[in-house]
Amino acid sequence: MYLELNANNPADHRICRSGIPTPAMRLDSVMGDLGWQRVGLIKIDGEGAECMVLGGAAQTIRRSRPALFIEVDDRALRRFGSTAADLQQMLLATGYQMHEARAGALETPIHAARAASLMDRLGYADFVFLPEPLAPTR
């Protein structure tokens, strides 16, 4: 992949179509090489490439059902051909519930309208996605 550096903010480098060639690995490949160790939390701030990151971690997420802490920025996601709604729907379809990340606590699961209002303030927001509880087995 290629990385575009932001000279004014070292925390704002981005994946792009050209720039500095940078090696990238799928999380599933790394976890497979490590013998599929359990993962409890995955933090993703992909500057719009979150759906790509999730795609590269699909097996790990299925196996471990970790909490996902994701910065969601609709404008950045659109540069990669998706939207905040697409990202939310993808995670809801895989059995995750979206929660507002607040200091000291998590809100009860929230819906897309609440997420959109949170993102309106800064253009992005952090959310915690937690797997829905499994139904009890008999």
Overall average pLDDT of the 103-124 stretch:
80
pLDDT at residue 16 above 90?
no
Residue tagged 């996902």 (tokens): 68
pLDDT at residue 18 above 70?
yes
pLDDT at residue 42 above 90?
yes
Overall average pLDDT of the 86-112 stretch:
84
pLDDT at residue 108 above 70?
yes
- What pLDDT digit, counting tens, does each position of 45-97 carry? 888 889 989 999 999 999 999 999 999 998 889 988 999 999 999 999 999 99
Mean pLDDT rounded to a whole number for the chain: 86
For the chain, percent of residues with pLDDT exceeding 90: 35
Overall average pLDDT of the 7-31 stretch:
85
- What pTM value is reported for the model? 0.84
- What pLDDT digit, counting tens, does each position of 28-39 carry? 999 999 898 889
Supply angle C-alpha 37, 32, 80, rounded to 5.
Answer: 105
